[in-house]
Structure 1
C-alpha cells in the first residue's frame, strides 16, 4: 500500500463515508451455488452516490502478471491526499477475451468493495447461510494460495502430458466450484489434491 505523506483528511473522509453510505442490494445471482452478491455496477453506484459529498473519488488501473490479471485501486481526497492499495490479481483460468474480462470485472468489484468498505460478499442460501452470520462470512483464498494453485495446475498438466485446461477441469470436478470462489480452506484442499496428483504422475 502507498499513501500520501499525510492521510488525516482522507482517513476522516473515509470514516464519514462508511458511516453514511447506503450498502447496495445483492443484485447478482449465481444459480450454481444458490448465492447472491453485489455486482460491480451496484458497487460503483453506491460509491458514486455518497463519495463526492465527502470529497472522495477513485481510479482503477488494470495490471497483469505472468498468469493473471487484476487492478490497482487508488482513492483520492480533495485535499490532495491519496491511498493506493496493493494490486489485486486473479490467475487466469482461460486466456481468452472472455476469461480476461471476467477476471478483471471480479478483481475490480472485489478491490473496490474492500477499499471503500462495501459489503459485496456472497450470501449463500441453505445450510451455509445459517452457519455464517454477516460478520462471519467466509473470506476468499489469498493471492499466494491462488498463485500456487495455478502453478500446480500447470505442473500437473506437464507431469501427465495433458493440457492445462484439462488439468483444471479435473480439479473442478473434485472441488465443485470455480477457483475465484475458493475460501482459504478450499484452497488448502485444492493444493493437497494437486500435490497428490503430482506424486502419482511422477
Structure 2
C-alpha cells in the first residue's frame, strides 16, 4: 500500500491515476416519437477497475440504503486510513417493486462512487444524442413558472379520464404511494397539491405528458425519482 498522510493527499494521488473506464453496456429506449440508445459503464466494471487503486492509497468506499430524517437515501462515505472521510446522501424512491428499488440503489452507488472519486467514464457520441433528446423534451419536463396564469380554457378541474390516466401512469412507473405521487405531481406543475383533484385540466395534461415520457425509460421509477429530486429539471 502506498502511504498517504491524509484524505486530501490520497484523493489527489487517486485522481492523478484514474483508470480509463470504457462504456461497454448499452440501453435501448423507444418512445412514441423516436427510438434511441445510450451506452454506460456498469457498477461491476467501475468497481473492478477502481477499487484496487483506492485500497492501494489507503482509501475505501462505503454505501448503504438507510432512512435519515424520514427520507430514504443511499448514505455513502469515502474513508481514509487516517480516519478522515467525505460523505453524502443520494435520494432513493420510496415505492416500487423490489427489483425497481434495487436498480435505483445500484444506480445511486455507481453515481456516488464516480462523483466522490472524480471518475468520468469515457465520453462518446451517445452523449450528444442524449442531450438532443433532452432538449426536444425540455418543454414537457420543465415546471410552469410560478407567476404564469393558466389559460382561461384550462381553469376547470382535471377530468375523470385524466385522473384515471395519471393513476395508470404512476402505477406503470411503480410509484404506488399516494404521498409520493402528489409530491411528484406538485414538482411537475410547480405548486403544492394536497389532492390530485386540485389540478386544472392543463396541469393534469402536463403531468400526463411528463409521465408518458418517463414510462418509456428502461427504469421509469429511477427517472421519476431523479426528476422529483431535481425539482422538476431533467
TM-score range, shorter chain: 0.5 to 0.7
Encode CA deviations 1:49-71: one digit per residue, 9 max, x unaligned: 21112111121121246997431
Question: Residue 24 in 1 paired to residue 35 in 2?
Answer: no
TM-score normalised by structure 1 residue count: 0.61
Question: Residue 173 in 1 paired to residue 212 in 2?
Answer: yes
**CA–CA distance in 2 between the matches of 1:149 and 1:159?**
13
CA shift, 1:151, in A, is: 0.5
Question: Residue 105 in 1 paired to residue 137 in 2?
Answer: no
Question: Residue 43 in 1 paired to residue 46 in 2?
Answer: yes
**CA–CA distance in 1 between the matches of 2:60 and 2:80?**
7
CA shift, 1:121, in A, is: 8.2
Partner of residue 184, structure 2? 152
Root-mean-square deviation (CA), in Å?
Answer: 4.1
SS at match of 1:47: helix
**CA–CA distance in 2 between the matches of 1:118 and 1:82?**
18
**CA–CA distance in 1 between the matches of 2:67 and 2:122?**
24
SS at match of 2:119: coil
Larger radius of gyration: 2
Q: Which runs of 5+ in 1 are unaligned?
A: 1-7, 132-140, 142-147, 162-166, 190-202
Question: Residue 88 in 1 paired to residue 90 in 2?
Answer: yes
Encode CA deviations 1:36-88: one digit per residue, 9 max, x unaligned: 111111121122121112111121121246997431111111222222x2210
Q: Which runs of 5+ in 2 are unaligned?
A: 30-35, 133-140, 142-179, 187-192, 200-205
- Listed as ranges, the matches of 1:106-145 within 5 Å are 106-120=107-121, 123=124, 125=126, 127-128=128-129
